[in-house]
């Protein structure tokens, strides 16, 4: 079975799969969303605000991949220091992390960017900041809940999250070498 077709569908299945599992697979791992009546802070880009209405953030595999909750709206992209990337917070919205390295939405395009060199200290390697996928939906549905998770997250194939993605049938145990090709930002 391919990755789920929508974020709400994925969250429903993840919540069902998490029932009765030890951390990180408890309802706390999928905090309640803001609901349709609550408006996320205006500083949160629309794609991520829609996610937060459904889910208050997502922690997978002891922090390997972490999607931040509503408090992210007040977080500076790169902390209190000097902005490392052109445009700073006006251009970028930090919505999560992969192994402590920032995941950012480019506000104007909706593209997801990251520091792909997970062996480098991200704030010393601005040259490693590159597009990861064309949208938050693609990131969530095809990367986090799909075959590409096993190739991006540092603990990928050995992680509890990866085993759940496999158990839900969203990925093959051995993703093809070109599994990431269809995520490319074009």
Residues with Cβ within 8 Å of 12's Cβ and at least 6 positions away in sequence, in order, are: none
Report the distance separating Cα 158 and Cα 148, nearest Å: 14
pLDDT at residue 151 greater than cutoff 50: yes
What is the maximum alpha-carbon separation in the chain? 45
What's the whole-number average pLDDT of the chain?
A: 73
Mean pLDDT computed over 22-42:
59
Question: Could you tell me the pTM of the whole model?
Answer: 0.79
Report the distance separating Cα 25 and Cα 167, nearest Å: 14
Q: Report the range of poorest mean pLDDT among 73-77, 100-104, 117-121.
A: 73-77
CA gyration radius, the chain: 16
pLDDT at residue 59 greater than cutoff 90: no
pLDDT at res. 138: 93
pLDDT at residue 38 greater than cutoff 80: no
pLDDT tens column, 79-89: 544 466 778 88
């Amino acid at each position: 079975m391919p990755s789920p077709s929508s974020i709400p569908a994925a969250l429903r299945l993840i919540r069902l799969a998490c029932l009765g599992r030890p951390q990180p697979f408890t309802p706390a791992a999928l905090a309640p969303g803001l609901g349709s009546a609550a408006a996320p802070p205006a500083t949160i880009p629309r794609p991520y605000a829609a996610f937060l209405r459904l889910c208050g953030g997502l922690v997978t595999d002891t922090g390997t991949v972490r999607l931040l909750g509503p408090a992210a709206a007040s977080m500076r992209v790169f902390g209190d220091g000097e902005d490392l990337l052109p445009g700073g917070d006006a251009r970028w919205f930090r919505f999560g992390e992969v192994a402590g390295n920032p995941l950012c939405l480019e506000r104007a395009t909706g593209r997801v960017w990251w520091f792909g060199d997970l062996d480098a200290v991200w704030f010393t390697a601005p040259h490693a900041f590159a597009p990861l996928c064309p949208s938050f939906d693609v990131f969530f549905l095809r990367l986090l809940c799909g075959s590409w998770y096993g190739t991006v997250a540092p603990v990928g194939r050995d992680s509890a999250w990866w085993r759940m993605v496999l158990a839900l049938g969203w990925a093959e145990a051995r993703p093809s070498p070109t599994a990431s090709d269809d995520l490319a930002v074009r």
